[in-house]
Amino acid sequence: MSLLLQIILLLLATLIFAPLAKRYASTSILGYLIAGLLLGSGVFNLIHDAGLISQMTDLGMIMLMLFLGFAFKPQQLWVQRHSLMINSGLPLLLSIIFLVSASFFILQDFLKSMILGFALALSCITLVQQLLQNKIQINSKLGQTALSSLQLHSLFAVVLIGLFPLLEDTASTQHGIAYFAAIIATISGLFLASRYLVRPAFRFLAHRHSVELIPVLGLLIVFSVLLLIDILNIHTLIGAFLAGILLAETEFKVEVERMISPFRDAAIGLLFLAIGLEISLTPLLQSPLFILASISGLLLIKAAMIAACGYYQQRSGKFSMGLAILLAHSGELSFLLLKIAESEQLLSKEILQPTLLIIFGSMLLTPLLFWLMNTKILPLMQKKAPKHAHDVPQHPILIVGFG
């Protein structure tokens, strides 16, 4: 099959399944995954070009990290650090401990169990954002807490990506001190470049009334950072994340965001499309009980940790349940770490394929659980028993407001 025909099939499947998923599951990301699953070796086997799938995956991961870096808010994380440690940091740590233990019980390999536990503990940022936007809850207390937690997840994923080359027997093992020195020097250099090069360059275009050239300048910044990262032999994904932060740390962030936001969902969707092409249904057919039990176990472990920590912080059953359902699944950060582990020859296909199915299943169930919470569970929780006479306040109440 020609390359052009494969691309046409991918675009056609995306245009069919992404709107359907957005209509019935409140998120288009699942549509990309399902489209890739149907076209790939998992179902119809129409697209099996390993080179094309690899290029799509690499480009999708770079675009994901670029947009995560652009949306990253380090100052907000620092201001909310105390509540984040309870709402996100503690449940993330507890989830990792339980998931690593469960993986070790199955695999009997500590390194592989560590990789699976760390990867599965991370949630899907794009899925949560789309669910909150669809329910107009993104500015609610629940929405802001969930998004702040996901910011911590993205930072944690970047740290893990940086640590991969330091693992023994990886394909890209490097000297620890030199490697960390290169990362610190790069971050320091980019901070100075943001102040003395990037911001003045944006101001120069604005003063010359050449706002239409801002995307060109943005591309120049991204490619320059990626080239620098490649020269220093640091992982490209870290460079993409830093490039996103560099673009966001200017007074022209709103203008840049206005220009790139139409491409955000499609660019990130490319990664999910590539992942769908790599998902195989063979593990589900061979061990259906194991896959279903693993999906249920993943959701229950993470939901229990998140709900317990959320209730301890807020003393609200509604809040803790909502946060648990939103963050109990795994997602694109999990896919990303697992693909890196595969490229570093730390995970085999025999382990990767069922894990991808488990992540996909957890994502597939999240919109359903979120719908059940909003339409069935919360209305029941909000029904209050009638108060007795002695419970009603006896002092006068003055209500002041318009109308």
Q: Residue by residue, what is the 3-state secondary structure of 175-222?
A: CHHHHHHHHHHHHHHHHHHHHHHHHHHHHHHHHCCCHHHHHHHHHHHH
Encode pLDDT of 122-167 as tens digits.
999 999 999 999 888 888 888 988 999 999 999 999 999 988 877 7
**DSSP string of 356-400, one letter each residue:** HHHHHHHHHHHHHHHHHIIIIIHHHHH--PPPPGGGS--S-----
List CB contacts of 255: < 8 A, sequence separation 6 or more: 211, 214
Kindly tell me the burial class for residue 219, based on how many C-beta atoms sit within 10 Å of its own C-beta (0-12, 13-18, 19 or more): exposed
Question: If you compute the radius of gyration of the chain from its CA atoms, what whole number of angstroms results?
Answer: 23
Helical H runs in 232-287? 236-248, 253-278, 282-286
What is the rounded CA–CA span in Å between residue 193 and residue 151? 24
Average pLDDT, the chain: 87
Better-scored residue on pLDDT, 92 or 232: 92
Crossing angle, helix 236-248 and helix 253-278, to 10 degrees?
A: 150
Encode pLDDT of 318-354 as tens digits.
889 999 999 999 999 999 999 999 988 889 989 999 9
Q: Which of 397, 256, 336, 334 is nearest to 99 (CA)?
A: 334
Taking residue 194's Cβ as centre, other Cβ atoms within 10 Å add up to 17
Residue 385 has pLDDT above 50, yes or no: no
Taking residue 387's Cβ as centre, other Cβ atoms within 10 Å add up to 9
Average pLDDT rounded to a whole number, residues 43-54 = 88
Q: Which of 380, 314, 377 is nearest to 141 (CA)?
A: 314
Task: Find tokens 């320059």 and name the residue.
Answer: 224
Residue 383 has pLDDT above 80, yes or no: no
Q: pTM of the full predicted structure?
A: 0.88
Encode pLDDT of 297-323 as tens digits.
999 999 999 999 988 887 788 889 999
Handedness of CA 340, 342, 346, 347 (dihedral sign): positive
- Residue 174 DSSP one-character state: -
Q: What counts of helices (H) and strands (E) characterise the chain?
A: 20, 0
Q: Determine the length of the chain.
A: 403
Q: Is 146 helix (H, G, I), strand (E, B) or coil?
A: helix
Amino acid at 43: V
